[in-house]
Amino acid sequence: RRVHGPLVTFFEKKLAIPNWELGRVFLRCPSLVGYSITQKIQPICNFLLNEVCVPPRDLGHVILQYPTIFSYSIENKLKPTSNYIIHHIGLDKSKLGQQLSQGLTLLGYSLRDRIIPRYTFIIDFDFEKFYDYDFKHFIEKFSLYYCLRLNLSDK
């Protein structure tokens, strides 16, 4: 059974998400059905395209893999997190966009509870002493995602 409506049309036409995949999107983020296209959904899509350089052809895939991104505030969550990753960690915007295109949930991580403590741990670890290249090269090659998945609860 096909679902219709402006939100469905937006996902199908603008994001190229097939109608048969929309059930999974709405199941993973039920609040999405109440969001305004012009005030919530389109601005986040624009942010992903322009601020973190998700390639336009991959935007639908990013949304399909991570629809809860629409539940975040651009000003309070997405911008601070992406700015920290770009300016402090040093991951290039285009590389961040590529990593998000691979289905990685980097922007969903807590800056205070996950990103900053793990990044600090890695820097204090003196990464370059053990590897032939610097941390920036490592995260560009392998993914910041894996670095941020470190379990620091035993430390």
Length of the chain: 155
Taking the C-alpha atoms of residue 12 and residue 117, their distance in angstroms, rounded to an integer, is: 39
135 or 84, which is more confident: 84
Share of the chain above pLDDT 70, in %: 77
CA distances from 40 to 43, 59, 84, 91 (A): 6, 16, 23, 26
Check pLDDT > 50 for residue 154.
no
pLDDT digits (tens, 9 = 90+) for 53-111: 999 999 999 999 999 999 999 999 999 999 998 898 888 888 888 888 886 678 888 88
- N-to-C CA span, the chain: 51
Locate all alpha helices (DSSP H) within 18-115, ordered by sequence. 22-28, 42-50, 59-65, 79-83, 93-101
Question: How does DSSP classify residue 72?
Answer: S
Determine the 3-state secondary structure of 28 from DSSP. helix
Say which residue, 95 or 24, is predicted with more confidence.
24
Determine the pLDDT at residue 57. 93
